[in-house]
Amino acid sequence: MDIGVLRRDGRTDPFFDGTAAGRLVIRRCEACDRWFAPDETGCPGCGGEDLVWAEASGEATLVTWTVTHSRNGAGPPAHLALVELAEGPWLHARLDGVAPESLREGLPLRAAFVHPDEGESYVLFRE
Ligand SMILES: [Zn+2]
């Protein structure tokens, strides 16, 4: 499935610098040692507003998923998932190379990175 060309918007530079280098970089509050999704801007725990960017392990488990079929029936269906990172935050991402019959809640996954010819690199998850 084509997800379109991703462009960075300035706020997400560290995230896309990370994906370009094959690293999953998300937000972290150093004051209370909690991790957040890349689009989080403040810490709901302590109210801190200076979240740092930090590299996550790339380990995750499957929370839920949906299967989308391409409009013209060409190509395999895509699996869009909500995964829980080992550090805690939830992330929306595509699954790649998964056997549909093996999908289950809690399935261990690992981040993988796609580097398209055009646009930013992005993360997806594999078994
Ligand atoms: Zn905090």
Q: How far apart are CA 15 and CA 98, in angstroms?
A: 25
- Per-residue pLDDT tens digits for 40-64: 989 999 999 889 999 999 999 999 9
Query: 122 C-alpha vs ligand 1 centroid, how far in Å?
Result: 27
Mean pLDDT of the residues in the chain:
91
Query: 27 C-alpha vs ligand 1 centroid, how far in Å?
Result: 11
Query: 87 C-alpha vs ligand 1 centroid, how far in Å?
Result: 14
- Per-residue pLDDT tens digits for 12-50: 899 999 999 999 999 999 999 999 999 898 999 999 988
How many residues in total does the chain contain? 127
At 89 the pLDDT is 96
pTM, full prediction: 0.88
Say how far residue 105 (Cα) sits from the centre of its chain: 17
Residue 1 confidence (pLDDT) above 50: no
Residue in the structure block whose two tokens are 């725990």: 45
At 2 the pLDDT is 54
**3-state DSSP call for residue 82?**
strand
Q: State the maximum Cα–Cα separation within the chain, in Å, rounded to a whole number.
A: 50
Query: 32 C-alpha vs ligand 1 centroid, how far in Å?
Result: 4
